[in-house]
Amino acid sequence: MNGPRWNQSVEAKAGYKVPFGTVSITDEARRLIQRALDETFVTNGKIVHEFEQAFADLFQMKEAVAVSSGTDADALALAVAYDYGARRGDEVIVPALSFIATGNAVFQAGFKPVFVDVKRETLNIDPERIEAAITDRTRAIMPVHLMGKPADMDAIMAVARKHGLLVVEDTAEAHGAVYHGRLAGTIGDMAAFSLYAAHIITSIEGGMVITNDPQKAEALRSLRNHGMVNKFDFQRIGFSAKMNEIEAAVGLGNIHIFRDIFEKRRRNLLYLIGRFKEFEDYFIYLKEDAGETIGPHAFSIILKPGVKFSKEDFVDHLDKSGIDSRNLFYSMPTQCPSYQFLGHKPGDFPEAEYCSDHGTHIGIHQGIENDQLEYVIDTVRTFLEKYS
């Protein structure tokens, strides 16, 4: 197995002292890419199948189906519901706060997203609000383990089983997260992973769906290839969402250094969690609850109510100090203009809106070293000294 080899060129291009992300491309991946090019078969072949098997083995699941993006992973997993009686226009419950791909995937699958507010301290869907959102058209719940923080799956599964609903875990940012002894992504009926460049396991672009149900896996393989079964037997309305061999080669290389990447990112996450205790009067940040392991994706920072500075002030200071950051996503139904047609208005999802209006997140990826983390702490401390 190759040791980790962090790609520093991505960081250099960013021009930041603490860049948001990096990509690890192993020597094994380079050999596999060359193999694919030499064989001149570069779409959905042997390397994709090897990657799927390695992914399934890593998460101790029976089936893994590779697709072209995390959004497609969400959409295809939801589209499996058509094999179980769902109709176009039926409803899927999702958290109001997430990357826009979560909502887009519901529409892409032919369903209507029904949004539920989140808990500010966890960023995840509030299970106590789910049941009130269920109607006779509800077919699935898609919780998101945002920023790698596991959603409250026991409560979510209890509601889903009570009402006979499919559960698809959006595990895009939670590679390796653990909830009460179980890996995030292994609790619901299926789980969708993004393998975009920012994630622990990356194929640069790509996605994966895992399940223990062979029948659902077969439906997924059909759905990713236009609904085809065997040769030109089209049994479903499908997608064009296959992964290619080049992407799978990068992903397979990442699988084999997964533990190295995970531990490096987790070290960075725990370091910031510990050091931000100094700033608890000013910020809300994710903390690990008993029985869970946060999948180390990024470090979220939300301003507490009543502080004397704005998020814009804080983010501007980070940026001028060379620390790259991203907004803490948006309340999809009330802060994304593309969803205005749904008729929601500002204030309908106050927790999600607060997180977006007052939240940001910074990188903790495997290319970041201790001196950079300490620089983050010094930078935040310098900023807060102006307001203390």
Helix, strand, coil content of the chain in percent (nearest 5): 45, 20, 40
1: confidence class by pLDDT, cuts 50, 70, 90: very low
* Residue range(s) in the chain whose domain bears CATH number 3.90.1150.10: 258-385
Task: Enumerate the CATH 3.40.640.10 domain ranges in the chain, comma separated.
Answer: 8-116+124-256
Q: Please, which pLDDT band fits residue 14 given cuts at 50, 70 and 90?
A: low
Confidence of residue 44 (pLDDT cuts 50, 70, 90): confident
Q: How far apart are CA 358 and CA 354, in angstroms?
A: 6
- pLDDT at site 141: 98
CA angle 259-261-266, nearest 5°?
Answer: 90
Cβ atoms of 185 and 193 closer than 8 Å? yes
Helix (H, G, I), strand (E, B) or coil at 63: strand
pLDDT of the residue at 42: 84
pLDDT tens for residues 163-212? 999 999 999 999 999 999 999 999 999 999 999 999 999 999 999 999 99
pLDDT digits (tens, 9 = 90+) for 315-338: 999 999 999 999 999 999 999 999
Rounded Cα distance, 97 and 100, in Å: 9
The average pLDDT across 368-376 equals 97
Token output for 88? 């176009």
Query: Does an H or E element contain 32, and which?
Result: helix 27-39
* Contacts of residue 65, Cβ cutoff 8 Å, sequence gap at least 6: 52, 76, 208, 209, 210, 217, 220, 221, 224
The predicted structure's pLDDT at residue 13: 43
Whether residue 299 has pLDDT greater than 60: yes
**pLDDT tens string 219-247:** 999 999 999 998 899 999 999 999 999 99
pLDDT (tens digit per residue) in 135-172: 999 999 999 999 999 999 999 999 999 999 999 999 99
Q: What angle do CA 20, 265, 177 make, to 5 degrees?
A: 110
| CB of 301 closer than 8 Å to CB of 283 | yes
Is the CB of residue 19 less than 8 Å from the CB of residue 322?
Answer: no
What is the four-CA torsion angle of 310, 312, 316, 319, rounded to 10 degrees? Answer: 120
Sign of the CA dihedral 157, 159, 164, 165? negative
pLDDT digits (tens, 9 = 90+) for 67-84: 999 999 999 999 999 999
Number of H helices, E strands in the chain: 13, 18
- Mean pLDDT value across the chain: 94
Average pLDDT over residues 125-137: 98
User: Predicted confidence band at 62 (pLDDT cuts at 50, 70, 90)?
Assistant: very high
Topology of the domain covering 8-116+124-256: Aspartate Aminotransferase; domain 2 (3.40.640)
Q: What is the DSSP letter of 244?
A: B
What lies within 8 Å, CB to CB, of 287 at 6+ separation is 273
For domain 258-385, which CATH number applies: 1.10.3210.10, 1.10.287.610, 3.90.1150.10, 3.40.50.300? 3.90.1150.10
Percent of the chain whose pLDDT exceeds 70: 96
Q: How far apart are CA 347 and CA 337, in angstroms?
A: 15
| pLDDT classification of 266: cutoffs 50, 70, 90 | very high
The predicted pLDDT at position 12 comes to: 40
User: Cα(33)–Cα(39) distance, rounded to whole angstroms?
Assistant: 10
Each residue's pLDDT tens digit, 275-284: 999 999 999 9
The two beta strands, 112-116 and 283-284, are unpaired
Are 298 and 147 contacting, i.e. CB atoms less than 8 angstroms apart? Answer: yes
- The percentage of residues in the chain with a pLDDT greater than 90, rounded to a whole number, is 91
